[in-house]
């Protein structure tokens, strides 16, 4: 088609050219308008690209440009109208990032709101044990630590704040920095300030007092190349919008510890003896030998939770009373900190493709299994990648004794990441941030006792109390004690997706534990099942999308059913589409067809659909499609009837 022919044809459309321009704005917007950022500023593909739509022909776009040059007074206003129409369309179709952040902030405010009467009660409870305790100094120290932690994070060296962090929290920050470095980026932040600090919770046990402090803050935050200097990173961060957020910081301290006014780590002194404290890799006072980040002498930061994920208190834990008969000092604070430490070492080992971070804290069986997976990937020139990895919660689920006479602690860890398998020397493809729900199973010799003397310092040799290193040896580098056997402390034996936990073929004995734990979980929350929180809704829907895409073909009907789920479950459709495009690599493993874990997965989806007390025709079709993919079509009716 010649330029002249096309020009004549286009002029023939003049009576409805404004409508065509609006359609042009909708169908072929500028690339910046078709892309959205989230998390660590990754870019979503546009729906046009995913659906294979070609947009309007190039000759049509060329003619539009020609008319803009020829008739600017007419064409420019029409294009502006089209742009405004597109903006209104997109705004009404999906909340933009600003709206989502506002909704998240509102949810965080709801979850962290407490009364002044509650605060006064908590302060009085603490003063009964520690007459010198005063809330304002604690809040001032939290504000100071928040600012110092941001500075250390920006400098990519957490050493200055190490004495204030539990071992698991310290491990978390260092692994996250390593993951950023592996991507070739650094986090650039500036203009960070604390807006408000408030006590929002207190939990007391015979082992620890735990206080929850809400921090409302804002900062400018963006990613820059790792090669950027501090000055370049700061300059780039100044161009980012300032965003507000809410975090909940949990500090723990032994009940008998007393406030030492003017003589604590914040004044550069040992919280036990008051002598000058100069720091050091061992976190020990050189005068009295106290481990300063143990929580034995002063408040230690043990957990950071996003405000939208904060929950008050612990759920009931199956088998805990029986486990305490053998180990009276067993407590969830130390156990969960140890599990968090193992989680971050598990991530670190896979990201590096090196098992050294796990050799001292994982059983030989777990180490061999994971090492074989890493070696298989390396042999194909691939590696496992974790981007924007973050933990939402770490909760002890249940305890049991296995047939061999070892204690088992099952700890549920909810986390999220953009994860996948990519070329060893390339940045991985863009993937959505996917909620993950795993159960980490820890084991130790039955009869072993919790070492409360170390408190929250959970990354130490149980024999000589020296810090664990990343050497390849499974023994302590200082005293030679065997560490990976679980003789004295909890070690990792398996890390499984929630559906796979307890129903794998080589661990059938855990099936009863799974059923009992689920029953305990439901009894603890009769009004709203755990499946209904937003992270779990996202996980289930992304898993459905990955399963649907696993055979390489997703029909139009399946796409419509998934979109129905995204609308009813409040999950952004653009991310579901990314899950469809990414397929099985979004998850460690997909649910195998016709297995007990597939049955559990389907039962969770049925419960989701039944939240309003009924299943309509569209929901029924969605469930039938999911059951077909899971190889459980004949079991669906029975599941629905039992609800």
List pLDDT tens digits, range 420-435: 776 655 555 566 778 8
Q: Does residue 512 or residue 248 have the better pLDDT? A: 248
What are the backbone angles phi and psi of residue 394, rounded to the nearest 5°? -130, 110
Q: What is the pLDDT of residue 514?
A: 47
pLDDT at 67: 75
Handedness of CA 518, 522, 524, 528 (dihedral sign): positive
Q: Where in the chain are all domains bearing CATH 3.10.450.240?
A: 105-313, 314-457+469-526
Mean pLDDT of 244-254: 92
What pLDDT digit, counting tens, does each position of 313-352 carry? 667 888 999 999 999 999 999 999 999 999 999 999 998 8
CATH number of the domain located at residue range(s) 105-313 in this protein: 3.10.450.240
Reported as a single tens digit per residue, the pLDDT across 374-387 is 888 888 777 787 87
Instruction: Give percent of the chain with pLDDT exceeding 70.
Output: 78
Q: Give residue 95's pLDDT.
A: 43
Task: Work out the pLDDT band at 192, boundaries 50, 70, 90.
Answer: very high
Alpha-carbon span 278 to 625, nearest angstrom: 63
Is the model's pLDDT at 40 over the cut of 60? Answer: no
**pLDDT class of 497 with cuts at 50, 70, 90:** confident
Question: pLDDT digits over 386-397, tens only?
Answer: 877 888 788 898
Q: Which of 273-277, 493-497, 542-546, 574-578 has the lowest mean pLDDT?
A: 574-578
Model pLDDT, residue 406: 92
Question: For residue 9, what pLDDT is reported?
Answer: 38
- DSSP calls for 13-28: TGGGHHHHHHHHHHHS
Mean pLDDT confidence for 528-536: 57
Q: DSSP string spanning 49-69?
A: HHHT---S-HHHHHHHHHHHH
- The pLDDT tens digits for 463-489 are 888 889 888 899 999 999 999 999 999
**Alpha helices in 353-389, H assignment, sequence order:** 364-379
Answer for the pair 258, 218: CB distance below 8 angstroms, yes or no.
Answer: no
The domain defined by 314-457+469-526 carries CATH number 3.10.450.240:
yes
Q: How confident is the model at residue 20 (pLDDT cuts 50, 70, 90)?
A: very low
355 pLDDT band (50/70/90 cuts)? Answer: very high
**Residue-wise pLDDT tens digits, 604-642:** 888 877 766 677 787 788 888 888 888 888 888 888 776
CA gap 168, 172 in Å, rounded: 6
Residue 31 has what pLDDT?
Answer: 28
29 falls in which pLDDT band (50, 70, 90)?
very low
> Which residue shows structure tokens 């990613």?
223
Please give the residue that has the higher pLDDT: either 265 or 604.
265
Over range 564-573, report the average pLDDT: 81
pLDDT band of residue 100 (cuts 50, 70, 90) is low
* 449 three-state secondary structure: coil
Count of CB atoms situated within 10 Å of the CB of 189: 18
Closest CA to 491 of 479, 514, 475: 475
Mode of pairing for the β-strands spanning 209-225 and 242-253:
antiparallel
**Is the pLDDT confidence value at 576 over 80?**
yes
Q: For residue 147, list its beta bridge partners.
A: none
Of the candidates 355, 351, 382, the one whose C-alpha atom is nearest the C-alpha of residue 369 is 355
Q: How many CA atoms lie within 13 A of 420 on its CB side?
A: 21
Residue 89 has pLDDT above 90, yes or no: no
Phi and psi dihedrals of 77, rounded to 5?
Answer: -60, -40
**Lowest model confidence (mean pLDDT) among 279-288, 475-484, 546-555:** 546-555
Q: What is the pLDDT of residue 529?
A: 40
pLDDT, mean of residues 243-262: 91
User: Does residue 506 surpass a pLDDT of 60?
Assistant: no
Q: What is the CA radius of gyration of the chain?
A: 27
Please compute the mean of the pLDDT values over residues 519-533 and round it to a whole number.
Answer: 46
Give residue 61's pLDDT: 65
Mean confidence (pLDDT) of the chain: 79
CA–CA gap between residue 604 and residue 623 (Å, rounded): 11
d(CA 509, CA 141): 48
Higher pLDDT, 409 or 519: 409
Q: What are phi and psi of 134, to 5 degrees?
A: -135, 140
Highest mean pLDDT of the ranges 34-48, 75-89, 102-116, 288-302: 288-302
């Amino acid at each position: 088609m010649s330029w002249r022919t096309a020009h004549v044809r286009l002029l023939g459309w003049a009576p409805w050219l404004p409508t065509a321009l609006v359609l042009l704005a909708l169908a072929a917007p500028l690339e910046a308008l078709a892309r959205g950022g989230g998390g660590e500023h990754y870019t979503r593909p546009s729906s046009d690209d995913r659906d294979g739509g070609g947009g309007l022909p190039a000759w049509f776009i060329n003619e539009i440009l020609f008319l803009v040059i020829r008739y600017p007074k007419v064409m420019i206003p029409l294009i502006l109208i089209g742009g405004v129409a597109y903006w209104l369309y997109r705004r009404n179709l999906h909340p933009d990032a600003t709206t989502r952040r506002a909704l998240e902030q509102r949810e965080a405010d709801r979850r962290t709101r407490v009364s002044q009467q509650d605060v006064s009660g908590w302060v009085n409870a603490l003063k009964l044990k520690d007459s010198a305790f005063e809330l304002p100094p604690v809040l001032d120290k939290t504000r100071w630590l928040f600012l110092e932690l941001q500075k250390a994070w920006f400098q990519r060296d957490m050493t200055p704040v190490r004495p204030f962090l539990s071992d698991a929290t310290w491990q978390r920050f260092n692994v996250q920095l390593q993951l950023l470095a592996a991507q070739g980026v650094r986090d650039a932040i500036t203009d960070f300030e604390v807006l408000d600090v408030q006590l929002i919770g207190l939990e007391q046990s015979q082992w620890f007092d735990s206080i929850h402090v809400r921090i409302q803050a804002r900062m400018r935050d963006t990613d820059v190349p790792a090669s950027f200097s501090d000055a370049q990173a700061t300059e780039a961060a100044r161009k980012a919008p300032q965003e507000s957020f809410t975090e909940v910081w949990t500090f723990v301290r032994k009940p008998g510890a007393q406030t030492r006014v003017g003589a604590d780590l914040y004044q550069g002194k040992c919280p036990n003896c008051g002598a000058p404290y100069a720091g050091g890799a061992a976190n020990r006072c050189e005068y009295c030998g106290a481990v300063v980040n143990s929580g034995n002498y002063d408040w230690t930061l043990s957990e950071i939770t996003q405000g939208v994920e904060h929950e008050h208190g612990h759920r009931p834990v199956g088998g805990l009373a029986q486990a305490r008969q053998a180990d009276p000092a067993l407590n969830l604070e130390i156990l969960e900190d140890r599990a968090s430490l193992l989680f971050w070492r598990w991530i670190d080992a896979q990201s590096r493709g090196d098992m050294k971070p796990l050799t001292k804290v994982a059983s030989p069986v777990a180490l061999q299994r994971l090492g074989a997976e890493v070696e298989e990937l390396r042999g194909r020139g691939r590696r496992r990648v974790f981007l924007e990895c973050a933990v939402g919660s770490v909760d002890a689920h249940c305890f049991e004794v296995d047939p061999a006479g070892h204690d088992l602690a099952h700890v549920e860890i909810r986390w999220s990441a953009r994860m996948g398998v990519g070329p060893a020397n390339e940045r991985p493809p863009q993937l959505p941030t996917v909620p993950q729900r795993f159960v980490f199973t820890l084991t130790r010799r039955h009869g072993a006792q919790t070492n409360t003397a170390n408190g929250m310092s959970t990354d130490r040799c149980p024999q000589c109390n020296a810090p664990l290193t990343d050497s390849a040896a499974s023994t302590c580098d200082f005293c030679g004690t065997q560490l990976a056997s679980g003789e004295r402390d909890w070690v990792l034996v398996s890390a499984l997706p929630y559906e796979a936990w307890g129903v794998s073929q080589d661990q059938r004995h855990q099936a009863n534990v799974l059923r009992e734990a689920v029953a305990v979980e439901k009894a603890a929350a009769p009004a709203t099942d755990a499946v209904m929180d937003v992270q779990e809704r996202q996980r289930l829907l992304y898993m459905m999308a990955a399963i649907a895409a696993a055979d390489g073909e997703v029909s139009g009907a399946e796409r419509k059913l998934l979109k129905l789920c995204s609308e009813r479950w409040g999950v952004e459709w653009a991310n579901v589409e990314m899950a469809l495009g990414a397929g099985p690599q979004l998850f460690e493993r997909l649910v195998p067809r016709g297995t007990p874990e597939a049955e559990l997965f389907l039962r969770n989806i049925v419960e989701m659909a039944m939240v309003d007390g009924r299943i309509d025709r569209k929901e029924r079709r969605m469930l039938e499609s999911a059951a077909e993919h899971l190889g459980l079509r004949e079991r669906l009716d029975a599941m629905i009837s039992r609800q």
